[in-house]
A and B are shown apart, each in its own frame.
Chain A
């Protein structure tokens, strides 16, 4: 982390502390969720957000248990549905930055339909996929992202199906912003959160995270040995979808993190919807009496 940013954070320590909670933490020691929330809090402070202009939306699971671990307005919804819940909130008031979080089950088992259409609709919001390659809160069953062969709860002979390549899936949907980070690389993850916060549209951010209790196949050091920054990829152009799709093929040796793909030309839902092109207000402020005689 460069010196300016550190200084900036130091000057804003008060704001940072406002996001910190006094409530007891319920994640395992070494859980990637700590790193994710720390990077998020830093990014929020550095980008000038406070409690009045951000909403956190949580799915169900270990990531969802973050709902009261960060101080601010938050919604803790149902399993697999957080993207839709957050999208509704985002459409109603653009002036609040809506950030949503979900795990493997939410994103790639219960809720892929919501993900597909949120990417397509380009809702103005951030979705963070906590990828720990298993179902933590239900005690370590395989997710659709668990490595083949891993022995998990309810998979005693080892997972015999191939995992989904999450990045490849999302890149196939014409997204406007796709990034990947690693929970053990907090400085870099902070920068990714900052970019996601600045993105005007649906920002998909996957965070690879260790699960010290249930994911024995890919522990912290496994990622640390393999994770690379995209800035180190030669001649990489993050506006080129084919370079992006090629880059994310590898899930085992060189795993690139960074902004994998960005399409700045795609308008967010509220800009694209034809009947509100010239609207300056937000839905939240438009609730009042409307005459209907012209429609009779």
Chain B
């Protein structure tokens, strides 16, 4: 599997995001598969940031740590990232005084790096452009280096500046000037030639947050309550931006406690409401999750994970909040924890989350990760009818038969009848205090035991309804296998392909429903595979520990907790070290 790896580096606030998006949009239109993510510090101006793009003519799911082409907007970021440029790679920069990167340029010679340079500011000025438009010159230069036809990037630029008609023409001039003054290095044309024979299916570049928002809209979510927090904030922004069309109520609440409480109240009343936050915001919601647990009222909360504790690394990624999702809140109650892995499954899993919450009347926590929240991949079309909407409500024609004691009736499954406020004259009390079958408060020992057991019986019922975890790979006689969740799937899919090309078999068991754990599938996987390892982005191996409680033992643990997601190389190196001789 051939991929072209590009890193665009620059300080925050210098238009890095804009440049990156112009590229991925153009690649997408050419029919190339794209995986892109960005690294940036938690500030508005300054620091060093990086927009990474990997492209291929086959589907790719994760990023390489390294770059074949580095496009540098400023010297500070270039210094920080230069070592990731491979031997023999290409550096594109437009700095006015190349002296400022003298040492980098020396290193470039040593590494046999080809340097493509124009004084971008000067070129921009000559083309009638402003200081800011030197980025456009740089884009033109890089596009030429890739050996691609100017039309592709021109179209992307026009789209980007569609609402700023007065600067389009000047930007186009700058783009062309940059393009024309560089000798082609012809890196990308290999892909493009191959593609010209293929029929290009229309694809959209979508990040995980947008996928969750779209999935929520698709399954009838009508309200969104949230307090801004990276990396989930763009769910709020996005849903607000399209609220005129969706008619959804989008409420930026005064805090996370409110957001969770409002969602619980709205779901109780019978609509579907979504909440998204990050680990720190979720901390404030835990009392509400506990309340939902005893009320047996549905609630769905998305945690976009970033490294903690406390403010931690606000703009980086991790799988550090699984224990939080599984064990948060006082008291014991059943819950379901799901984990999305990319912009494709996020669309469907958020819909399953609402079905599970409503059918089993439990809190459902959906884990995402910063790299998924903001990572963009090409998505074809979503199947808008793939996940049936299941409300778990008493049918309208059966409402006449409900009795007060039905609401929390002591059923075998633990799930009792749920009907909405005002739907029947037979009312119920939805009580945060311990209660008996009609919801009225009780502290009697016998009754407490009965209702408590009834609630907890739902855990077994839920386990029986869980979809099986998916196995990626060859499935027979793999030399090494992995188990994981969340974004680990993405790197594993690329690793499995890479290894196959080398004649090596690798399997991967992926959990989308991480809690409760489907134990049988785990045990089967261990029965059918030797040399099984954990892959997880945290220090403790949180999922690994939960899994080992089921009686299995991992042969090794691949863990990472530095705020960066797994790169293909991380796993390849680990495999090299851990292959059974």
Contacts and interface: CB of A to CB of B under 8 A. Distances in A.
Interface residues of B, number: 63
Interface stretch (B139-147, B177-185, B418-426, B560-568): B418-426
B265 A114 contact: no
B287 to A, nearest CB: 6
Interface in A137-182: none
Given A67-B433, A286-B271, A292-B382, A88 B264 contact: yes
Contacts of B432: 60, 76-78
B263 A289 contact: no
Interface in B251-275: 251, 253-255, 257-258, 261-273
A247 interface: no
B503 interface: no
Place the interface of chain A in its size category: 35 or more
Nearest to B428: A73
Nearest to A50: B425
Considering residues A113, A283, A289, which has the most beta carbons from chain B within 10 angstroms of its beta carbon?
A283
Interface string B436-475: 0001110000000000000000000000000000000000
Interface string A88-132: 111111011000000000000000011011000100000000000
B384 interface: yes
Contacts of B287: 78, 81
Interface of B: 204, 206, 214, 217-220, 222-223, 225, 242-249, 251, 253-255, 257-258, 261-273, 287-288, 291, 295, 379, 381-382, 384-385, 389, 391, 420-422, 424-425, 427-433, 439-441
DSSP majority for the B interface?
Answer: mixed
A275 B247 contact: yes
A283 B223 contact: yes
Contact of B429 (A50, A74, A81, A286): A74
Given A114-B258, A295-B214, A96 B244 contact: no
Contact of A114 (B222, B254, B384): B254
Contacts, number: 191
B297 to A, nearest CB: 9
Nearest to A71: B427
B384 A292 contact: yes
Contact of A93 (B206, B422, B431): B422
Given A287-B389, A288-B220, A295-B242, A53 B258 contact: no
A78 B432 CA distance: 7
B271 A287 contact: yes
Contacts of A60: 432
A85 B265 contact: yes
Nearest to A77: B432
Contacts of B295: 75
Contacts of B271: 92-93, 282-284, 286-287
Contacts of A89: 265-266, 268-269, 421
A87 B391 CA distance: 22
Interface string A276-293: 100100111011111111
Given A72-B427, A78-B291, A287-B271, A292 B214 contact: yes
